Each structure stands twice: as C-alpha cells, then as structure tokens.
Structure 1
Amino acid sequence: MNSRWLQKAVAIGATTACVLALGSTAAIASPVSIDNSFPDAVPSWANTANDQGITADDTTVEGEIYLPLRDKAGAEALATAVSTPGNPGFKKWLTPDAWIKRFAPSQQDSDKVVGQLKAQGFSITAVPQSRLYVVFRGTATQMSAAFNTTLHNYNFKGSTLVGPSSVPRVAPAIAPLVQGLSIDQGRLNTKPTNRTAGDFEESDPSAGIGTDQARPKPKPSAECSNYYNEHQDSLPEAYGKTAFSTFGCGYTPSQVRSAYGLPNDPAGKKLFGGAGQTVAIIDAYASPSMLADINRYSKDNGLPAMDSKSYREIVPTPAEFSDQANCQFPSGWQGEQSLDVDSVHATAPQANILYVGGFNCGGGLDVAMSKILDGKLANIVSNSYGNVGEALPQDVIDGTVNIHLQAAGEGIGLYFSSGDNGDQAAKLGYPSPDFPASSPWVTSVGGTSLEVDRAGNYLFETGWGNRLDKVISNPDGSTAYESPAPGQRQGGGAGGGVSAVFDQPAYQKGVVPDSLAKGHRVSPDIASLADPYTGMLIGLSPIVDDETLQTGDYLTESIGGTSLATPLAAGQAAVAQQISGNVFGFANPALYKLSKLVPSVFTDVQPPKTPVALAYTSAASGNKYLNTLDQDTSLKTAKGYDDVTGLGSVNFKLALFAGLVSR
C-alpha cells in the first residue's frame, strides 16, 4: 500500500471527525391500530381485477404479526447518531440485549399475541429474541375466521398469490399491541437476484428454447473472452464497427481482486484479506454440499481452504423447509448461496463466513436476520434477494424497517442487492426500486459491467444494463439486426430509482440531485460487478432432487446480477474493516460524507463516450446478438450520483478511505 495514500486517508479521517450530524430519516410508517382493523395489510395486487376466487379451505398460509417498537423515534435517533461521523454518539452502539431492553416490545405483550394466535388454532413458527414479530401458520379457513376476512387467490404478474379480499381485523384483545399484519403470500415472491447470460431467451419463442429438448446445443461461433477483446466476433455493422469483443467467460477471483485493486501490506509480506472479520450471508434453505464446494472452488482458484471454524452454518433441517414451490425450491436458492459464499471468499479470503438459511423465502428470512442481530454474530450481512419493487403491504415494510433499525443501532451493516430488472416497470407497470434495498437504513448495492485487460487490470466499467439485438438472415444470405441498435430485448439491469415509500434520508441531501430525488430515498448507494456477460465464475454441486437433496457432479458456471455485486461489496467492507481496525456499522452516512470530501475515491461510472457492445452467441439456441451495455431501462448513469450505480463502483482504495473515515 502506498504510504501517500495512507497519509491522505488519515487526513481525510481527521477532517471527517469534525463533520456535524447528518440528521435522520423515517419511513412513512403506519401507527399502531387505534381499532382492530389493518387496512395497510392489504396488498395493492389484491384487487377485483386480479381476483381468481376464494382460496381452497385447506391451503396452508404463513402469517406474521409485527409488534411496535416502544420508542421508534428514539430507535431512529440512535441509528442516526451511531452511524454519523461527527455526531457525539458516533459508534456508541448498543449491545443486542441493551437494544432489546430499550426498544423491543415487552415479553408480556409478545406472550399475549402468541397466546391469542394459539387460541385461534395457529401453530407458532418463530418468535425472535427481539420479539419484533411472530411468524405463524394456519389454513385459509383459520386465517379468514381469525382475521374477519376471506382469503382469495390473485394473479400477480403471472403468479398466483393468496391475499385478503377485505381489510383484516385482529382480535380486539391484542389490537393495541399490534403494529402490522401480514396474511398474504406476497412475501413468497422474494427471489434471489442473480442472472446468467442468455436467460432473457426463456420467454422468447423465436429463440428456440424448449422447442426440442433433445436438440443438441450448437457451438458458439466465437469463444467467450477471459478479458476484453481476447476474442472477437463479426456482426453486422453497428456503432461504426463490425468486430466486437465476445462476452465474458466469467472472471476468476484473482481477476476481480486485481481489477478492484486489492491492496497488499506496505512491506509486501501479507495480503489484506479480511482477517479477523466475519461476514454473514442470508438466503433461503441450505446447500448440502457448500463446505465441500467452497473448498473445491478455493483449491481451483488459489484461495485458502475453509473449515468448520472459518465457514459456519445456522440452517433449518430439510424437514423444516416450507413453501418450497412458491420459493423456487432449495435448488433454486443453491446457486445463490454458492455465489454469495464464493464472492465473499474471493474478495475477503481470510474472513470468516457465517451462512444463515431461512426455512422459506418469507418469514424465514426475517428469522434468519434476527438470529444474527439478536446475537450480534457478525457486523456485515450480505443479502442477495429482493421483492418486486415496493409492491408489498405497508405493514410488511414498516415491520421490516424495525429490523433494519435494530441492525443500525447495534452497529451492523446490512447490504442488500438493488435488483436485476431495472426500474421494474415491465412487471409493475410503473417504475420502482426494490425493497428491502430501498430502505434508508441499509446499503443498496447496484451493478456494473466490468472489463479488464490481459493482466487483470481495470479497463473500464459501465452501468449494468443489457440491450440485445438479434442477428437475422436476409433472403439474399446477408445478415442484419432485427431492429435498429441497441435493439428491444432487455437482458437484465441493475435495480434502482426513487422510492414511493421513504422520504429522502439526510445523508443523501446535497449528493443525490434534487431533480432526481424530489424529496425521496433513491437507490442504490454503491455498485460493483453484476453484468452476467462479464460476470464471475462460481462452483457448485447442483441439487438434482429437491426431495432428497441429492447433488450432482461439481461444475463451474459464470453468473451475475446484483446478487454478485452485493457479496463482493460485503467482502470489500470486511477488508476495509481489517485495514482500518474499525467497524463500519451502517455505512451510508460515512460513505455519502466521503463522497463530498473526496469524490475521486469512488469510481464514477458515467455513460461511455461512444456505445460499448459485446458479441454474444447463445449456446442454447445458436442465435447471435449484439449486446449493448449501459442500457438500464429508464435508469441512467450520469456524472456523480446516479440511480444505476449510486455513488459509484467500490474498490479497495475506497475501502481504505472509508475505513479511516469511520474512526
């Protein structure tokens, strides 16, 4: 590490220590019910236009009751103070026991809610030590009777979800103790936010996917590239060119570390790899082969082996897995878990990893988070999942934000992926950032397309947004594009945009343009590699039977999405904490303040001066495409802050500065 960087960083840290408090922000929260009705428990999609009729009586449904904080304003003030450089309360975090004692609902109130639910015939799935919520299960008949409504099936963008057909009511005896209620299956729409090259073809009949299961896969006309322009392919003319670098094979951990400038010890004797740090990862379910897979991956990529001390799991038993069909089964989450573990280990090879699995993709994820927070098992938590925009009942959003406030008050940084479907307008009919990434109390991680040279050095980044134009054959044998470049096929892009739920947090004021924010929270905050066409290699032994959890042979594949960007950023945070000897906690106030003081330490991802495109040949269909980068729906990269990459791409130079700012 260059000593001049260190001297500058120390100076910045000293300057930042004089910064005044940034203030606080709050969700537009629902008050505790003054009667026993909960109108904010009705999802926006539970309407007449989407109604498919009454839910079958014996359908099992998960519910969750959220209890109010004893002093929400105080919890917000604490979260702000402990996270804001220059505030007298900076880094004076509470222990889990102290936070629970000061802010959590009382044991007596929690017991009353649990007792009422049991009396109504529900089974209690979980009550965390913090008592912030109760997860329970029952049949549709039980739910309808207990909450004075009728559950119906609703069509939500092609999925059938269960929800209340009228405003639900809780028993009057516990109504004053309840902040919010969830008795719909919308939360089971939470999915991993990862992408692979060519997955846009699945809904494209012209691509040939699924037309002939036995059809052999054609060989691509040009090899993928291990670095920019390693291989080129000829395409019809676009942007004044006919030869384009082929899409990426997927970077190795050493390429990612090199591109983002992993620093060495000043004496060159020791790698900074997050030693002494623990990064927690949350996903649904659990891979049965994760430890063996990460060690195979480590051996192949020159990373340290992991054991039962450096890699630990807190996971439900397979018998406890629930809602598997709605949640895409354990096999649907295994790739996410492998991606997260591999990515953290790639960027922080000396850090410990704790994987905590949810029993489903709904309340199970809350329970997994609470296990970490209630025991403070880590101070960095990577979360590579999200909902479809903010299309959740306000009760669910408010209850989830209470969990985020607990994390911030305890000095735990929550990193959430911003999403993989751009502004979500294609699914929702209107633009929206994804929740939980849009919460003002978490760090939202957006995505970039990253290119490196032969030696693994950083070349350039663009905002992640793939627009693909199919190459077609003309009657005379020549080729052309099916539409003018960049084409009409959206192949994924980083989530982000302006929240319709949260006011602008004080830390974003003066950094996020007023013309963009208009007084609201904007996502993301930072960004890292996410484009599946430049992605990263991961390894896993895929689950081939979701009932027995039998796995197949170990394989490697390239994958992307903000599911990749988030654990990469979490690993970088672990290294930064090691370098500085400081814990960040909730990092946003320090990051935004740093962007004002030394904006150059962020890699500002701006629109390329001339369009950048890659050649892509699908191994599934044989179709060839021009893939133009930085085409993320209505979201646009710009100089300074933007709603694709936030403050910019993170790197280890930034990690050094951010660590010292956090003193």
Structure 2
Amino acid sequence: MKHRLMQALWLWVVAAVVLGAAIAGVSIMAHAQSDQRVPMVGQTVPLLKQAKKVGEVNAGQTLNLSIGLRLQNEDVLLQLLQNVYNPHSAQYHHFLTPQQFADQFSPTLEQRQQVVDYLHNQSLAVDGVASNGLLVNAHGTAAQVEAAFQVQVHQYQLGSHAFYANANAPTIPAFLSTVILSVGGLDNSVQLHPLTRQVPTPRAGFAQPELAGAYDINPLYQAGVQGKGQTVAVFELDGYQPADISQFATEHHISQPSLSNVLVDGYDGSANAGAIEAELDIEVLNEIAPQAQQLVYEGPNSTQGVNDTYNRIVTDNQAQVVSVSWGECETQSGAAELQTLDGIFKQAAAQGISIFSASGDSGAYDCNDQNLAVDSPASDPYVTGVGGTNLQLGNGGTYGSESAWSSPTDTQRSPNGAGGGGGLSNTFSKPTWQVAPGVDNQYSNGMREVPDVSADADPASGYAVYCTVAASGCPSSGDVTVGGTSAAAPLWAGSAVLINDFLQQHGQQRVGWVNPLLYQLANSQQTYAPFHDVTSGNNLYYSADANYDLATGLGSPDVYNIARDGINGAPTGNAPDPTPTVVVAPTDTPVVTTTPVQSPATNAQP
C-alpha cells in the first residue's frame, strides 16, 4: 500500500515537472513570437534612389504618424459593392451608413486596442482612433519612432528639395501584420500638389454661360435643377478668402454659395500658396451647382492631414459628391499609402458617395520625369479620374469641339510639358466594370486605365477665377484665368450634383459611386448621347481616339443627356423632359460657417 502511494506521488511529481516545462516552453515560444518582426511592404521612399543623404534627423524632432489599419471581410465588401451598383441586384443602391460599414468591415475593437497598446508600449502618444477604425494617429520623437519601427530616419537633399525619410522599410511585430496596413509620417518627401495652371496674362476665361452652354447644362437650369438640397464636399489642403468668392459671384451674376468650413487636424483655415486652388474649386462648383451646399474640408498638407481629411469627409457622410483637385504621382505616394486611401474610398462607394479627382497636369508623365505614370487618387478604382481637354465653343456659345490638352512647351513643372493626366496604374488592376469600346487597346496591360472622363482644362481655354491672395500668385485686380484638371474635376463634381438633383426630383436614388454607370452608358447605345467623344490631340504620349482612350477617357459630359439616360437608375430608358421653371435670383453674400475639428481621429477611442 505504501509502495503504491509513493509511486503515485512520484508520478505526480514527474507530471508536474513535465507540465511546468511545457508551460515554460509555450511561454518562451509566445514571447519569441511576439518579438518576431516583419518588414512592411510598400513602405520604402522612392525619392531616396535619387536623393543624397546630408545628415541625421534631430532625435528630439516630433513625427506625426498616421497608422493605416486593414479592412475586415474585404471579399464580402467587394461582393456587396458589386451588388449595390448592379441594377439587376436586390441590393441595388442600398447604400450603407458609416455605422453599418464599421460594423461589417472595420477592424475590431480588439484589433484597434492591440495597435494602441503597442504604440503606448513604445512610448508613443496616441492622439486618437478614427470612428471607422481605419486610422490611428500618434506622435513621438524621431528617436522613439525609430525604435518603435526599427528604422533609421535621415535628412536628404534632391536638388533644392530638402526632406527627411526612413532609410529602410519599417518593421512591426508579426502579430500586428494582419492588422496594420501602413505607417505614414516617417517621411515628408512628398506633398500633394494643387493641379492648377495659371495664365500669365489675365484674360477672360470661361464662366457659367460658356460652360453651361458647351456641356448642355442649361436645360437643367431652365427646369429649376440647380443642386437644391444637395451637398458637395471640397477637399482642400489650404484655405481661401471668402471675399474673393463673394466678388466672383457678384461679377458673374450667380447665387452666393452657402459655405461651411470643416477644419481638420488643427488647420487654421488661412489662405496661403494653395489658395487659388481652393478658390477655383469653390467658384466652379458654385457656377455649375449654384444652390448646392458646399462643405470645404481643410487639412494640413501631410500624410496625416491628407488621410484624416479624406476620412473625415467619408465618416461625416454629409456630402453625396466630393471634388478633389490635389494629387501626387502613384510611384512617389507609395503602395502602402495608396492601399490605405483605397480602404477609405471603398467606404465612400459603399455609402453612395461620388468622388471626382483631377488626373494631373503633366500629361502621361505624372512624376514629372521621363517615366510614364498616373496620378493618385485619380487612379484609384473607387475614384473618378478627370482628364483635360482644350474646349472650343461653337456658334451661340454651344459646344464646338475639343482636343486632348497638350502643351509641350509649358515646362514649369514637368520637363515634357503640361497636359491632361492619363495612362496605366502601376498599383491597381483594371476593374471588371471598366469595359467599353476602346478600353482594350494597344497599351492595355491588365491595370486600371486613367482617366475615366475629361473636361476643359487647357489654360488657353481656361476658367475665369477671382483671387486676390498674393501668397498664391494672384493679382491685386483679382481677375485671372486658370486651367488644369483641377478645374475639370469640380466641373464634373458640380454636374454630378445636378444629375443627383434631377434624379431625385423624378423619384430616383442618387448615382453614388459613378464609375460603373459611366462605363455602362458608354458600353451600350443610349437614347441620349452622354459624352462628347474627343478624337484629336494627345497628352504628350497617348493619343485621343474614337471611344475610350488614355488621353481623355470616355470624353466630356453632356450633362442633360446623362441625367436623362440615368432617370430609371440604370443606363437605359427614355426619360421625359423636365418641366421648365424660373431660375432663382442670386443672393447678396455667401454664408460661411466654420466647424473646427482638431483631429478626425478623436471620434472614437477603443
């Protein structure tokens, strides 16, 4: 009996030792696994190939980080987007709310907390987590950031351009690799550019009468379709002078716009070097859709500012249409940042938001060198890229002709000249909906093709603008003519506002993400021709040809025809002509309200 008791006791001791060793082993393995790090793909800085290192970054310098998180259930999201924009689906135009999107596709609260905990453990300050969980804002000294992501941040020089950047790709713990998509803010090598071209000698550019006549908008005005009850968001990285906007409306006898400023990440709203861009956008939108509410989102020109401003527009979900006239070439943006923005734009599409973005002003050479490249965000499949043309009026101010915008001698920005951006993405595959005559061409390589559409952008046939901001190069007289695809983008955005107004007056849903509809319109015979097909000229490399081409996309809009073709919520059907009514007279002054927002990433904390 005693022997059996001793034997049992011995077995218990052995088992305890084995179990303890196993637990210790698991603990060691778990610790090793948590210490294991993986490099992040797409996070090197392209300009370092040409730049010269000139020193070390100050270890105490503050770096503001924008951590991009991955979407969840992305395959389900892609199927949902396909259904929401398929006229034959039961889910057609059943747009999501921001909360519905977050519930289904945002990172979980636990995943967000894992990222926050890691940043805190690395002595970084977490400033906030976006309400959709796609962005985490943080800051710390350069030394803290270098340690947290195992990078070396140096100072570099490229010509007259001085910047800091990470010399190697950042690494993150392996267990976070399925959560973190990008780490923005490790460099300031690039900033977004306003895509405007100013005519040196002021001349009378096109204004509402010419633009409305050329692009067949007048029948909508005559029917009282002017954007009433519609809201458009204007993406800006600079401020504007309200007095300039008021004076423009007065000079051109149009309604004073109702403006609300949303200041992101502490931006103070002051009008600086990019003010002419903001004023161009606001004034063109006011011309095209004079009764629409404009929400002007203004953020800092940094990775964090750009991400937060886009994300704030989408999570606010107040605007049905967004106009973007700032961009950067894909190559210099980097793949990780492009994917972070893509998640935000997918949410916009799911919520039924149209985003129109300028395709660039350097023709087919968007990186301003000898390499073919396209502009971001116009190249994103969930954004409508807007290219540029030279517009000539016909008799009576109607549409005459258009050619692709190309100015080889204008080398202010690019050695190859100026022109409407277009070409092939190096990041995004050609989406299934990008099907129309001409899309499959000699240059096709399976990647997304840009632009989708186009409109007047050549400064030689440019837009009348009123701007007195000296820091932006505006004359004291105020009147100036401006071109660039940054003018074509708000023209298309304003036109989409009118189309939404028209559809809703006829009991239909707004168009939402418009790209599938545009290609459906081009892919089948319509009762009313939706586009002016641009068949002459080039964008410094690609020629404008019949049907779709990489210089002008599907062409420029016949706004009234697009509205009538889309009256049934599908690209077919005969729409009745709207009943004409009296056009509303202009008011006296623009209404401007301001909503300061310190950071769009403080809406929710995990």
Q: Please show how residues 443-458 of structure 1 align to structure 2 within 5 Å.
A: 443-453=384-394, 455-458=396-399
Aligned pair 1:507/2:414, yes or no? no
Measure the CA separation in 2 of the matches of 1:295 and 1:193.
23
Question: Does the C-alpha gap of structure 1 residues 457 and 45 become closer, same or farther in structure 2, counting only changes over 3 Å?
Answer: same
Which of residues 280, 285, 303 is equivalent to 2:238? 285
Q: Residue 567 of structure 1 corresponds to which residue in structure 2?
A: 490
8 Å contact 1:425–1:431 — kept in the other structure? Answer: yes
Measure the CA separation in 1 of the matches of 2:556 and 2:108.
43
- Considering only aligned residues, what root-mean-square deviation do their CA atoms show, in Å? 2.9
Q: Residue 539 of structure 1 corresponds to which residue in structure 2?
A: 466
Measure the CA separation in 2 of the matches of 1:280 and 1:545.
22
Question: Does the C-alpha gap of structure 1 residues 361 and 378 become closer, same or farther in structure 2, counting only changes over 3 Å?
Answer: same
Give the drift of 1:653: 2.9
Percent identity among equivalent residues?
A: 26
Give the drift of 1:295: 2.1
Q: Please show how residues 299-338 of structure 1 align to structure 2 within 5 Å.
A: 299-306=250-257, 310-316=258-264, 320=267, 330-338=271-279
Q: Which runs of 5+ in 1 are unaligned?
A: 1-32, 199-219, 225-247, 323-328, 471-487, 608-629
Q: Residue 601 of structure 2 corresponds to which residue in structure 1?
A: none
For residue 577 of structure 1, what is the amino acid of its counterpart?
N
Q: Residue 145 of structure 2 corresponds to which residue in structure 1?
A: 143
Measure the CA separation in 1 of the matches of 2:470 and 2:359.
27
Could you tell which deviates more after superposition, 353-362 or 163-172?
A: 163-172
Aligned pair 1:651/2:558, yes or no? yes
For residue 649 of structure 1, what is the amino acid of its counterpart?
S
For residue 345 of structure 2, what is the amino acid of its counterpart?
H
Q: Residue 460 of structure 1 corresponds to which residue in structure 2?
A: 401
Q: Residue 45 of structure 1 corresponds to which residue in structure 2?
A: 47
Question: Does the C-alpha gap of structure 1 residues 183 and 356 become closer, same or farther in structure 2, counting only changes over 3 Å?
Answer: closer
Measure the CA separation in 1 of the matches of 2:41 and 2:192.
22
Alpha-carbon displacement from aligned partner over 1:267-288 (angstroms, at most 9, x marks no partner):
x96442122211111111322x
SS of 1:660's equivalent?
A: coil
Measure the CA separation in 1 of the matches of 2:399 and 2:387.
18
8 Å contact 2:364–2:372 — kept in the other structure? Answer: yes
Q: Which runs of 5+ in 2 are unaligned?
A: 1-34, 571-606
Q: Residue 532 of structure 2 corresponds to which residue in structure 1?
A: 603
8 Å contact 2:406–2:418 — kept in the other structure? Answer: yes
Give the drift of 1:585: 0.8
Which of residues 167, 176, 193 is equivalent to 2:195? 193
Could you tell which deviates more after superposition, 67-76 or 356-365?
A: 356-365
Aligned pair 1:74/2:76, yes or no? yes
TM-score, length-scaled by structure 2: 0.80
Question: Does the C-alpha gap of structure 1 residues 544 and 390 become closer, same or farther in structure 2, counting only changes over 3 Å?
Answer: closer
Alpha-carbon displacement from aligned partner over 1:8-42 (angstroms, at most 9, x marks no partner):
xxxxxxxxxxxxxxxxxxxxxxxxx9943213211
Q: Residue 578 of structure 1 corresponds to which residue in structure 2?
A: 501
For residue 54 of structure 1, what is the amino acid of its counterpart?
E
Q: Residue 262 of structure 1 corresponds to which residue in structure 2?
A: 217
Give the drift of 1:453: 4.6
Which of residues 388, 397, 408 is equivalent to 2:338? 397
Q: Residue 297 of structure 1 corresponds to which residue in structure 2?
A: 248
Could you tell which deviates more after superposition, 59-68 or 586-595?
A: 59-68
Give the drift of 1:54: 2.8
For residue 251 of structure 1, what is the amino acid of its counterpart?
F
Q: Please show how residues 420-431 of structure 1 align to structure 2 within 5 Å.
A: 420-424=361-365, 427-431=368-372
For residue 380 of structure 2, what is the amino acid of its counterpart?
S
Measure the CA separation in 2 of the matches of 1:109 and 1:149.
24
Q: Residue 10 of structure 2 corresponds to which residue in structure 1?
A: none
Q: Residue 21 of structure 1 corresponds to which residue in structure 2?
A: none
Which of residues 442, 446, 456 is equivalent to 2:383? 442
For residue 172 of structure 2, what is the amino acid of its counterpart?
V
Which of residues 313, 316, 326 is equivalent to 1:385? 326
Q: Please show how residues 7-46 of structure 1 align to structure 2 within 5 Å.
A: 35-46=37-48
Give the drift of 1:510: 4.3
8 Å contact 2:361–2:418 — kept in the other structure? Answer: yes
8 Å contact 1:113–1:174 — kept in the other structure? Answer: yes
8 Å contact 1:259–1:456 — kept in the other structure? Answer: yes
8 Å contact 1:190–1:362 — kept in the other structure? Answer: no
8 Å contact 2:450–2:550 — kept in the other structure? Answer: yes
8 Å contact 1:313–1:354 — kept in the other structure? Answer: yes
Measure the CA separation in 2 of the matches of 1:48 and 1:638.
36
Aligned pair 1:639/2:546, yes or no? yes
Question: Does the C-alpha gap of structure 1 residues 170 and 490 become closer, same or farther in structure 2, counting only changes over 3 Å?
Answer: closer
Give the drift of 1:553: 5.6
Aligned pair 1:591/2:514, yes or no? no
User: Greater Rg, structure 1 or structure 2?
Assistant: 2
Question: Does the C-alpha gap of structure 1 residues 469 and 40 become closer, same or farther in structure 2, counting only changes over 3 Å?
Answer: closer
Give the drift of 1:61: 2.9
8 Å contact 2:163–2:189 — kept in the other structure? Answer: no
Question: Does the C-alpha gap of structure 1 residues 71 and 554 become closer, same or farther in structure 2, counting only changes over 3 Å?
Answer: farther
Q: Residue 162 of structure 2 corresponds to which residue in structure 1?
A: 160
TM-score, length-scaled by structure 1: 0.74
Q: Residue 422 of structure 2 corresponds to which residue in structure 1?
A: 496
Question: Does the C-alpha gap of structure 1 residues 544 and 192 become closer, same or farther in structure 2, counting only changes over 3 Å?
Answer: closer
Give the drift of 1:48: 7.7
Measure the CA separation in 1 of the matches of 2:560 and 2:300.
38
Q: Please show how residues 463-474 of structure 1 align to structure 2 within 5 Å.
A: 463-468=404-409
- How many residue pairs match? The answer is 527
Could you tell which deviates more after superposition, 378-387 or 653-662?
A: 653-662
8 Å contact 1:194–1:559 — kept in the other structure? Answer: yes
8 Å contact 1:422–1:634 — kept in the other structure? Answer: yes
Give the drift of 1:164: 1.5
8 Å contact 1:523–1:646 — kept in the other structure? Answer: yes
Measure the CA separation in 2 of the matches of 1:34 and 1:505.
36
Q: Residue 180 of structure 2 corresponds to which residue in structure 1?
A: 178
Measure the CA separation in 1 of the matches of 2:317 and 2:367.
39
Q: Residue 407 of structure 1 corresponds to which residue in structure 2?
A: 348
Alpha-carbon displacement from aligned partner over 1:552-605 (angstroms, at most 9, x marks no partner):
967121111110000000000011111122311111111101101137431000
For residue 647 of structure 1, what is the amino acid of its counterpart?
L
Give the drift of 1:59: 3.7
Could you tell which deviates more after superposition, 457-466 or 149-158?
A: 149-158
Question: Does the C-alpha gap of structure 1 residues 516 and 660 become closer, same or farther in structure 2, counting only changes over 3 Å?
Answer: farther
For residue 262 of structure 1, what is the amino acid of its counterpart?
I
For residue 421 of structure 1, what is the amino acid of its counterpart?
S
Measure the CA separation in 2 of the matches of 1:469 and 1:113.
47
Alpha-carbon displacement from aligned partner over 1:306-334 (angstroms, at most 9, x marks no partner):
3xxx32111148x6469xxxxxx951221
8 Å contact 1:604–1:648 — kept in the other structure? Answer: yes
Question: Does the C-alpha gap of structure 1 residues 426 and 633 become closer, same or farther in structure 2, counting only changes over 3 Å?
Answer: farther
8 Å contact 2:470–2:476 — kept in the other structure? Answer: no
Question: Does the C-alpha gap of structure 1 residues 187 and 529 become closer, same or farther in structure 2, counting only changes over 3 Å?
Answer: farther
Q: Please show how residues 81-120 of structure 1 align to structure 2 within 5 Å.
A: 81-120=83-122
Q: Residue 228 of structure 2 corresponds to which residue in structure 1?
A: 275
SS of 2:232's equivalent?
A: strand
Measure the CA separation in 2 of the matches of 1:41 and 1:119.
22
Give the drift of 1:175: 4.3
Measure the CA separation in 2 of the matches of 1:52 and 1:658.
59
For residue 493 of structure 1, what is the amino acid of its counterpart?
G
Could you tell which deviates more after superposition, 85-94 or 250-259?
A: 85-94
Give the drift of 1:170: 2.5
Give the drift of 1:183: 3.8
Question: Does the C-alpha gap of structure 1 residues 63 and 157 become closer, same or farther in structure 2, counting only changes over 3 Å?
Answer: farther
Measure the CA separation in 2 of the matches of 1:304 and 1:48.
50
Measure the CA separation in 2 of the matches of 1:264 and 1:433.
35
Could you tell which deviates more after superposition, 515-524 or 153-162?
A: 153-162
Measure the CA separation in 2 of the matches of 1:555 and 1:269.
30
Give the drift of 1:167: 2.4
For residue 40 of structure 2, what is the amino acid of its counterpart?
F
Give the drift of 1:508: 1.4
